[in-house]
A and B are shown apart, each in its own frame.
Chain A
Amino acid sequence: MSASGSVPVVITGMGAVTPLGDSVSSFWDSLIAGRYAIAPIKRFDASVFQFGEGGEIPEFELGGRAGAVVGRDDRALRFAAKAVDEAWSGSGLSNEGLLDEVAVVLATNFGSVELSEAALTGGPCSGRDRSGLGFQAAADAISRIWGFGGPCVALSLSCASGAAAVGYGMDLIRQGRCRAAVCCGYDAISRFAWSGLCALRTMTKDRIRPFDLNRDGTVFSEGAGAMVLEAADSAAARGAEIHAELLGHGMNNNAFHLAAPSKEGEGLAAVMRMALHDAGIKAEEVSHVNAHGTGTKHNDVSETLAIKAVFGRHAEKVAVNSIKSCVGHVMGAAGSLEAIATALSLREGLIPPTMGLVTPDPECDLDYTPNAARKLDARVALSNSSGIGGCNSALVLGRHKA
């Protein structure tokens, strides 16, 4: 039983919109195959920027109720709506008459800021142009489209947003504030976001190579990852398909620096311990860590040190990976997509590879599942996320015992 001693929570629906595929199955197949999502940016003139490659999603049709509501120009919300649609449809909850007991938790770094570029530059603009400036409007739209009447919340913890959405949704269920929660992390690449991400100087002109000796930065992508979480007894009672169990989570801050991780990874180690304590799980029960693994010099070393600090000698037996090596860093969606990948790893008994890892780094000396997917009979896994401002989030997932 978890530290909070409350309602067990399970995952009954998942949805993904990514540069590697616009469904969970295509996303997962691409991860296992080690496909690389990154290409020259086409949507705007990236030649003016220092870095010009990222993971873009081509235009797609958004059908159904969402398509009637979400404008074609609001790409970020289109990603979220499509991912939520897949997750909600897959959960089977739509027929259960529970809408007032379903929460929505949306999380993002930049929201629909692309809509508001004209407004932000001080030029003439309409109300619609300004509508992207607050994030809650997107959460409200998702609630309205599907009729959810439970808590409806937008949160933002930079690149820990997606994982934080899952953790907060879990807490809403455990605290009895709802019976199910639709949790979605999402972000779109825009000129504004791209200019700022370039200014942070964390990107590489090479491919992203998490934990590799010659790594020199990350690459950014866009997309959305959605999960439907449900109280375990509710899911079991209706015979739902359960993808994995959510055992615990943690969110914290390094309290060190706005833009740099602490060198020894103390904050990330602390959030992993927080999540394990919340889950009531000992470190040695964990077989797999889906790392934040951004491919920057600092993050990968500090994360390695954090994993060692938490797991001790057991760290040598843990299969670590970074799916950012394939899909890129999907910003506000990273944590939720990585949670989906972790859930699938437990369900399928298969760990996606860390691609691009060709030269080992003596400072990063754990098993990072290099270059090929691997079978792993894991019962418990952990997924890490960190973000600007020193935010960290960790999720503990368990294989569902049918």
Chain B
Amino acid sequence: MSRRVVISGIGPLCAVGAGREYFWDAMKSGGRAAADSRIINGRKVNVISLRNFSAADYLESRKTYLDRTTEFLLAAVSLALEDADLDLKKEDPERVAAVTGSAYGCLSTMAAYFQDFAAKGPRFVKPILFPHAYANTPVSVLAIEYGIKGFHCHFSAGEAASATAISYAYDLVRDGRADVAIAAGSEALHDLVFAMHPDSVIGEGAAALVLEDLDRALGRGISPLAEVLGCGLSCCGADPGRGMEDATVRAMRRALKAGLQMPGIFLPSYAPHSGFGVSELSAARVLSGGVSWQTLVLADFLGNTFGASGALQATAAALFSADTGSTALVSSVSPGGSVASIAFGPLP
């Protein structure tokens, strides 16, 4: 059984705004979020943070404690479900999947726990912090919050984490193993992340997408945003230098599949002048036969949002595909050489 998979709702949460309208306005106008400069370990980092974010605006009940990465995820999913006009209480919970990605997970809580441990000793640490420090805590809290009992997975795959999550969610719905899949990525800033990426522009945020079978979405009376045409995963193997372009070509070719629908817009992870951006651009030229694709680099707007980047790219891709009537191709690359690529197409 192979179903057509569509995006029936999106929930972007980032520095240019929360929700479809603000996000789309920023994409069309080229509006960039303001960055603050910070000095971490003597190196300058430009930080684009979510200002004035309050999880309480998105949650039905007050929580004792949540890591900020978890808060972002819950907020993004809340937006996506509203956008999809989907009430999960009316769904069979075992047929709803939750698949998420994050590069660093609940790093703030892990650091808070460990600093507590270092300061007070093991007998006086706050026990509530430890279960909130796991990488899978955000997706587990999501499942508890919404009663999601179907397929459940979390990818800690660096910058390719949420694109990898979307690809698995796509497979689950396509193969009939889930009726609805919530695929998302979230990432919250922390000084440790800044310290690992000096001289960079670092962002935070989240995005959630609701994936459904086309017939089911139409049967609910909604108009899906775009279709997921395919996904590809690869990595550069033994040689990150020479192999990056080849890995990106392989992933993108698998996403576009038979028919090789040339994208109207390409959304790479990195700016064209950067190391990985050069590989992504080269890969695009290989596939296009030298023809230039319109390119949108979200990192220019939002900074590097790490594990949230793929989901934010996918959100933008779905919107552009719907708006232009053309295919949109996402390339999500992690610095170690893993690539996840997703192709979106308009619905007739």
In Å, the complex CA distance between A191 and B121 comes to 11
Q: How far is the CA of A103 from the CA of B340 in the complex (A)?
A: 13
Contacts of B105 in A (CB 8 A): 156
> A155–B104 contact, CB under 8 A?
no
A120 touches B (CB below 8 Å): yes
Residues on B with C-beta less than 8 A from A64 are none
Contact (Cβ within 8 A) A149 B171: no
User: Assuming A156-B136, A390-B143, is B114 touching A121 (CB within 8 A)?
Assistant: yes
- A149 B243 Cβ-Cβ under 8 A: yes
Q: How far apart are the CA atoms of A267 and B140 in the complex, in Å?
A: 13
A199–B130 touching, CB < 8 Å: yes
Can you list, as one digit per residue, whether each of B248-275 has a CB less than 8 Å from chain A (1) or not (0)? Answer: 0010001000000000000000000000
User: Do B192 and A130 have beta carbons less than 8 Å apart?
Assistant: yes
Q: Per-residue 0/1 for B8-23: is the Cβ within 8 Å of any A Cβ (1 yes, 0 no)? A: 0000000000000000
Chain B residues with CB under 8 Å of A117's CB are: 114
Whether B203 is near chain A, meaning CB under 8 Å from some CB there, is no
B68 on interface, CB distance cutoff 8 Å:
no
What string of 1s and 0s marks CB contacts (under 8 Å) between B136-153 and chain A? 110111011011111111
Within 8 A of B (CB), among A262-293: 267, 270, 274, 278
Q: How far is the CA of A104 from the CA of B144 in the complex (A)?
A: 30
Q: Is B337 an interface residue (CB 8 A)?
A: yes
Indicate if A144 sits at the interface (CB-CB under 8 A).
Answer: yes
Interface range on chain B (Cβ under 8 Å from partner)? 35 or more
**Contact of A391 with B140 at beta-carbon distance under 8 Å, contacts A130-B195, A133-B107, A135-B156 already known:** yes
Q: Which of B118, B146, B151 contacts A252 (CB 8 A)?
A: B151
Nearest CB in chain B to that of A99: its residue: B237
Residues of chain B lying within 8 A (CB to CB) of residue A135: 135, 156-157
A16 to chain B, nearest CB (A): 23
Name which residue of chain A comes closest to B177, CB basis: A4
Bound together, the chains give a CA A136 to CA B340 distance in angstroms of: 13
A294 → chain B closest CB, angstroms: 16
What residues of A have a CB within 8 angstroms of the CB of B125 in the complex? 195-196, 199
Within 8 Å by CB of A389, from B1, B127, B136, B160, lies: B136
- B160 CB contacts on chain A under 8 angstroms: 136, 153
One of B136, B171, B236 near A387 (C-beta < 8 A): B136
**CA–CA, A267 and B160, complex, Å:** 29
On whether the beta carbons of B235 and A156 are closer than 8 Å, the reply is no
Within 8 A of B (CB), among A139-168: 139-141, 143-158, 164, 168
State A140–B247 Cα separation when bound (angstroms): 13
Chain A, interface residues (CB within 8 Å), range: 35 or more
Within 8 A of A (CB), among B74-97: 93-94
| Cα of A198 to Cα of B243 in the assembled complex, Å | 44
Q: Are A136 and B334 in contact (CB under 8 A)?
A: yes
How far, in whole Å, are A177 and B340 apart by their CA atoms in the complex? 12
Q: Is B94 in contact with A195, judged by CB distance below 8 angstroms?
A: no
Of A70-78, A236-244, A253-261, the one with at least 4 CB within 8 A of chain B: A253-261
Closest chain B CB from A274 CB (angstroms)? 8
Q: Let me know if B287 is at the binding interface, CB within 8 A.
A: no
Pairwise interchain contact B235-A151, C-beta atoms closer than 8 A: yes
Bound state CA distance, A136 and B156, in angstroms?
A: 6
Decide if B39 is an interface residue (CB 8 Å cutoff): no
Say whether B168 faces chain A, with CB atoms less than 8 Å apart: yes
Residues of A within 8 A of B337 (CB): 140, 143-144, 152
CB distance from B211 to the nearest CB of A (A): 15
Q: Are A140 and B111 in contact (CB under 8 A)?
A: no
Report if A109 contacts B (CB, 8 A). yes
B235 touches A140 (CB 8 A): yes
B212-247 with Cβ < 8 A to chain A: 232-238, 240, 243, 246-247
CA A54 to CA B234, docked complex, whole Å: 38
List the A residue with the shortest CB-CB distance to B156.
A135
Which residues in A have their C-beta under 8 angstroms from that of B232?
177
- A391 and B136: CB pair below 8 A? yes
**Docked complex: B25-67 residues within 8 A CB-CB of A:** none
**For window 374-402 of chain A, which residues contact chain B by CB distance below 8 Å?**
387-392
Tell me if A60 counts as interface (CB < 8 A to partner B): no
A234 within 8 A of B: no
Binding site for A on B (CB under 8 A): 1, 93-94, 98, 103-105, 107, 110-111, 113-115, 117-118, 121-123, 125, 127, 130-137, 139-141, 143-144, 146-158, 160-161, 164, 168, 171, 175-177, 192, 195-196, 232-238, 240, 243, 246-247, 250, 254, 334, 336-338
16 contacting pairs across A/B (C-beta < 8 A): A113-B110, A120-B110, A135-B135, A135-B157, A136-B160, A144-B237, A150-B234, A152-B234, A157-B154, A171-B171, A192-B114, A195-B125, A200-B127, A251-B153, A255-B149, A270-B149
A interface residues, Cβ below 8 angstroms from B: 3-6, 48-50, 99-100, 103-104, 109, 111, 113, 117, 119-122, 127, 130, 133-137, 139-141, 143-158, 164, 168, 171-172, 175, 177, 191-192, 195-196, 198-201, 250-259, 267, 270, 274, 278, 387-392
* 8 nearest A-B residue pairs (beta carbon): A140-B336, A389-B140, A151-B233, A136-B158, A147-B238, A152-B235, A156-B135, A196-B130
